[in-house]
Structure 1
Amino acid sequence: MRIVAKSYLLQYWGYNEKDETDTTLRSKDVVATEETVDQLTANSEQQFFKFIIKDGEELIIRREYIHSLTRQF
């Protein structure tokens, strides 16, 4: 089984360095599998999603913090 992954721009709510009681909209270039994208767009009960960033690091983020995921070409 071949896993297909594509590049995306992930926008998410994250830690605000200027005010630790608040969040700010952040962006990261990520790689996501088709399975992850399908689960995000479906009525999945999955609460956490895994993305690949930089040189293979994993970013695991809770569904409610994800603002948008934009396909990059």
Structure 2
Amino acid sequence: MKKQSKNAKFMRPAVKRELQKRYELCYWGLNQRDASQLYLKTAEVSVPSKTMSNMTVDYKPPYYRFIVGDGEDFIISADCVVSIREITVD
């Protein structure tokens, strides 16, 4: 059974449907031992529709917003995002 956000019962139905799809985000993150180095990290995220539309236009905004865990915002520089792919359940 999928874990739901604490705020899921208060969300509009369209928002709940949108956040049901899960994606694997691949991005450049700081090395905890050496802040001068970056390394490739991954995170399981939900993608708000505004972020998805921002990712598919010519203009690249400075930051993207994703949802992680039980509804926390994950805001990352657009330059650090390497790829995103939908996680499918077979």
Q: What is residue 30 of structure 1 aligned with on the other side?
A: 45
CA 1:68–1:45 in structure 2 vs 1: closer, same or farther (change >3 Å)? Answer: closer
> Which consecutive unaligned segments of at least 5 residues does structure 1 have?
none
Q: In proportion to residue count, which structure has more helix?
A: 2
Q: Which runs of 5+ in 2 are unaligned?
A: 1-11
TM-score (norm 1): 0.86
**What is the count of residue pairs matched by the alignment?**
73
Residue 59 (str. 1) matches residue 74 (str. 2): yes
Q: Percent identity?
A: 27
Q: Provide TM-score, normalisation by structure 2.
A: 0.71
Q: Which has the larger radius of gyration?
A: 2
Query: How much is the aligned-residue C-alpha RMSD, in angstroms?
Result: 1.6
The one of the two structures with greater contact order (alpha-carbon pairs below 8 A, sep at least 6) is 1
